[in-house]
Structure 1
Amino acid sequence: MQDAGFPVFCLETRHTQQLLSTRPNKTDRNDAHGIATMMRVGHFKPVHVKSRPSQFVRSSLIGRRQFMRAMLRIENTIRALLRTQGLKLGKIHRCQFSERVKELCNEEPMLLPAIEPRLAARDEIRTQMRKLNNALERAPRTHPICNLFQTIPGVGPLTALSFKATIDAPNRFKRSKLVPAHLELTPGVYAPGSISALR
């Protein structure tokens, strides 16, 4: 539609919902009419649509987060299964997790049918996540802004890449104080009885 010359906007959902909630009957037809009225009178809040490169980076970061959650869930299940038999892994580096689990399973071979499939799935997830990590860690090398972020102590390639993809276009923030509120790091609105973050 943009290529055809039509203006395209993405509306801020909470603002739109508040306006549509004033209508007596909620139907798809009434919602469409309400949105059309908002656009006609100009009473709407457009939101920023991230660039395609930032969307691709966000997709990879979300995939990495899902890998991490799945791996931790499997590890916690394995720990629980071992604990029921009095076997404790304790604090151990992730690289030595599989070897230590196999050592403990030698003491209780009956646990192997329950643990072996989970351990194999965990190791495969970790292998794929390592590949994704390597790709994400190489990506910031071509971005001068990410390289600048990494000069900050404690900021690595993943943090720099995630921050750049989240902000995308710095000029969409009128003031620097709006950035931490957008990231929900600090409250953006102080009102009687409530504190909320700006979007």
Structure 2
Amino acid sequence: MTATKKKTRVVRPTAATSSTLRLDTGEVAHVGIDVHKASYHVAVVTDLRGLVASWAQPASPELLVACLDPIRTQVARVVYEAGPTGFALVRRLRAAGYAAEVIAPSKIPTMPGPEAKSDRLDCRKLAGFAQKGLLQPVRVPDEQQEADRQVVRLREQLARKLRVIQQQIKALLLQHGVAEPAGLTHWTATAVDALRRLELAAELRFCLDVMLDERQHAVEQVARATRRLEELAKADRHRETASTLRTVPGVGPITAMTSRVELHDPARFRDGGQVARMIGLAPQVLQGGPTRREGRRLKSGNARLRTVLIEAAWRWVAGDVAAKARYRRLVASTGNGKKAIAGMARRLAILLWRLSLSGVPYRAAAWRPGPAPATPERHRQRPRPLPERRVERSGTTPSQRGSASEVTACSPRRAVTRVKRGRPSFAIADPTLCPEHE
């Protein structure tokens, strides 16, 4: 007789038949949900039988809670991917008593090679990975924290729209061969008035006027969002921390509030390295055996906060003597100003994180001007001794040639040339630069 494999019956409960979802005594279930705007795809996996239930339902948290109610006490974890639907579902599940989490999509394990993909398969993978403990959750903010963060993100979106409109106006002028008025690089009021007075064809005049009106509206909206952000920084829940962060040179209300709301609950980070990785300012470490090398930045993480910190790092370097000295050392070691400012942005992020925890105002490090940093020993090349240079000319006598002491007494000047990207410095000796040879 040949043994036949027993198939697991997959049930698809609805609101009226939720009682059909049953588990055996002692079974522990993990639930994976593929969340969309109009529908949920749900899969229930247990440690004993694997997949025991799978169904699709309308996007209703209340209906999902009713379907899972028969196995409430046996559900260990409910997970779904972070996405545009936000955190309303996880808050409702936690209120119902479930251990619900939102998973970072970039941290979900993937298999090499092409695979089939569907909502039904995605929810089953989430449930299986949750059972094995292979998923990395994100921190869920409360409703007030999410609302405060939305104000910061709204201003960033409006500023981006303003830049797009200004670029469209410049593209229109370039396309039709119209010279840009003076001051348009910084969009001064004089330059905008000059655009209003340009003599153009009727159709082009209409297009430019509509774009200028749209830009004016975008400017007003950005100013409105900025005022609201400044008022938010004065609220009781943000006033103390925002004031502490603004003691750092170059950190204004926008940078302080962005750091405050994007790095909510800073105590959850163990060290500055976790903060840098969360923002995307940590290097990729490549280590094998005794060799360890740091590669490019890991750009995963919060791109909004990373952009704001890099802009603030430029102002920090310009306004803090100690930060400027550190920046110059980074430029000397890397040979690249952009890499150096990214390193300063990393230090600024960790500094703001520490100030948020301690509440102590920023105090600039003691710094006094001194000699330039010496070249590292591994990059230093000892100059070789120069041979004696004797000029032999036909028809000259020994007295006319000069003695050996006169030749060796001439020490040539050296022009030092530094090479970028960490290559060793070297000296070029040119005897013709000696005054006696001129």
Do the two structures share a fold, i.e. TM-score over 0.5? yes
Aligned pair partner of 2:206 in 81, 91, 113: 113
TM-score by length of 1: 0.83
Does 42-51 or 122-131 show the bigger shift?
Answer: 42-51
Query: Which of the pair is proportionally richer in helix?
Result: 1
Q: How far has the Cα of 1:23 moved from its partner? A: 10
The alignment status of 1:56 with 2:147, answered yes or no, reads yes
Seen in structure 2, the aligned counterparts of structure 1 residues 73 and 27 have a Cα distance that, compared at 3 Å, is: closer
Structure 1 CA distance, aligned partners of 2:230 and 2:139?
26
Aligned pair partner of 1:13 in 82, 105, 111: 105
Q: How far has the Cα of 1:59 moved from its partner? A: 1.9
Map 1:1-199 onto structure 2 (within 5 A).
Answer: 1-18=93-110, 25-83=116-174, 84-92=176-184, 93-94=186-187, 96=189, 97-103=191-197, 105=198, 107-108=199-200, 110=202, 111-142=204-235, 143=238, 144-187=240-283, 189-191=284-286, 195=296, 197=298
Aligned AA (1:43): L
Q: How far has the Cα of 1:4 moved from its partner? A: 1.6
Seen in structure 2, the aligned counterparts of structure 1 residues 165 and 123 have a Cα distance that, compared at 3 Å, is: same
The 3-state SS of whatever aligns with 1:177 is: helix
Seen in structure 2, the aligned counterparts of structure 1 residues 28 and 22 have a Cα distance that, compared at 3 Å, is: farther
Structure with higher Rg: it is 2
* Alignment check: 8 A CA contact 2:273 2:282 kept: no
Query: Which of the pair is proportionally richer in strand?
Result: 2
Aligned AA (2:224): K
TM-score by length of 2: 0.40
Aligned AA (2:131): R
Q: How far has the Cα of 1:18 moved from its partner? A: 2.2
The 3-state SS of whatever aligns with 1:137 is: helix
Q: How far has the Cα of 1:196 moved from its partner? A: 5.5
* Alignment check: 8 A CA contact 1:51 1:168 kept: no
The 3-state SS of whatever aligns with 1:18 is: coil
Q: Deviations over 1:127-181 (max 9, x none)?
A: 1221111111221122211110011100000110001111101122121221122
The 3-state SS of whatever aligns with 2:255 is: helix
Q: How far has the Cα of 1:190 moved from its partner? A: 0.4
Q: How far has the Cα of 1:8 moved from its partner? A: 0.8
Seen in structure 2, the aligned counterparts of structure 1 residues 128 and 27 have a Cα distance that, compared at 3 Å, is: closer
The 3-state SS of whatever aligns with 2:285 is: strand
Does 160-169 or 176-185 show the bigger shift?
Answer: 176-185
Seen in structure 2, the aligned counterparts of structure 1 residues 180 and 109 have a Cα distance that, compared at 3 Å, is: same
The 3-state SS of whatever aligns with 1:6 is: coil
Structure 2 CA distance, aligned partners of 1:76 and 1:196?
29
* Alignment check: 8 A CA contact 1:137 1:157 kept: yes
Identity level (%)? 22
Structure 1 segments of 4+ aligned residues over 6 angstroms from their partners: 21-24
* Alignment check: 8 A CA contact 1:190 1:196 kept: no
Does 135-144 or 145-154 show the bigger shift?
Answer: 135-144
Q: How far has the Cα of 1:108 moved from its partner? A: 3.1
The 3-state SS of whatever aligns with 2:102 is: coil
Seen in structure 2, the aligned counterparts of structure 1 residues 100 and 39 have a Cα distance that, compared at 3 Å, is: same
Structure 1 CA distance, aligned partners of 2:227 and 2:127?
47
Structure 1 CA distance, aligned partners of 2:102 and 2:253?
31
Q: How far has the Cα of 1:30 moved from its partner? A: 3.1
Structure with more contact order per residue of length (Cα contacts < 8 Å, sep ≥ 6): 1
